Amino acid sequence: MSEPTRTRRLVSPSPEETHRLGVKLGQLLEPGDFVGLVGDLGAGKTHLVRGVAEGAGVASSEVASPTFAIVYPYDGRIPLYHADLYRLADYEELYATGFMDLPGEGRAMLVEWLDRIPQAAPRDFLRVTLRHEGEDARSLEVEAFGARSAALLDAWLG
């Protein structure tokens, strides 16, 4: 993997703060944006996605934890896909699902467990790595790969 164009680190002291960060990102997302979420079980990937979806104008009742399906479509201010690669074995299996055709549909993509299949990411994407820092704190390492994602990161976290 090439070096990130831009990196920011911060600590979220609570689930509420992580949600608020997600809402702000969701307000900035445009069709075609790709955000990969990385982190252990319970790190807060889905929690952050719920905020992003809310910020993008998706009704919160729509947001699932994509345990059984690989991809969920949401309709908000812009259309989103929320995907989880946890149960996929490799790139071949992902490819067979048609996943690689999805970005062409002009939706923004939120992809949990991107580290399972890094080839799922397009050339320009944002990667958010969440880590446990105690009971209610999580560190977020946000890496932008490419010009659009660097601009998105600047607008999101300054």
Ligand X SMILES: Nc1ncnc2c1ncn2[C@@H]1O[C@H](COP(=O)(O)OP(=O)(O)OP(=O)(O)O)[C@@H](O)[C@H]1O
Q: Applying CB under 5 A, which residues contact Mg ion? A: 45-46
Q: Nearer Cβ to Mg ion, position 111 or 150? A: 111
The sign of the CA dihedral 113, 60, 16, 6 is: positive
Q: Nearer Cβ to Mg ion, position 43 or 153? A: 43
Q: Nearer Cβ to ligand X, position 137 or 151? A: 137
**Segment near ligand X (CB under 6 A); pick from 26-34, 43-51, 99-107, 115-123:** 43-51
- Pull the structure tokens for residue 80: 């989103």
Residue 138 binds ligand X, judged by CB under 6 A: yes
What's the one-letter identity of residue 118?
P
Q: How is residue 2 annotated by DSSP?
A: P
Residue 105 binds ligand X, judged by CB under 6 A: no
Q: Are the C-beta atoms of residues 40 and 133 closer than 8 Å to each other?
A: no
Q: Residue 43: which of Mg ion, ligand X, none does it interact with, CB under 5 to 8 A by kind? A: ligand X
CB of 42 to ligand X, least distance (A): 5
Q: Give the CB-nearest residue to ligand X.
A: 44
CA–CA distance, 31 with 89 (Å, rounded to integer): 28
- Number of chain residues interacting with ligand X (CB under 6 A): 17
Q: Are the C-beta atoms of residues 56 and 80 closer than 8 Å to each other?
A: yes
What's the one-letter identity of residue 96?
A
CA–CA distance, 59 with 53 (Å, rounded to integer): 8
**Segment near ligand X (CB under 6 A); pick from 39-47, 54-62, 68-76, 92-100:** 39-47
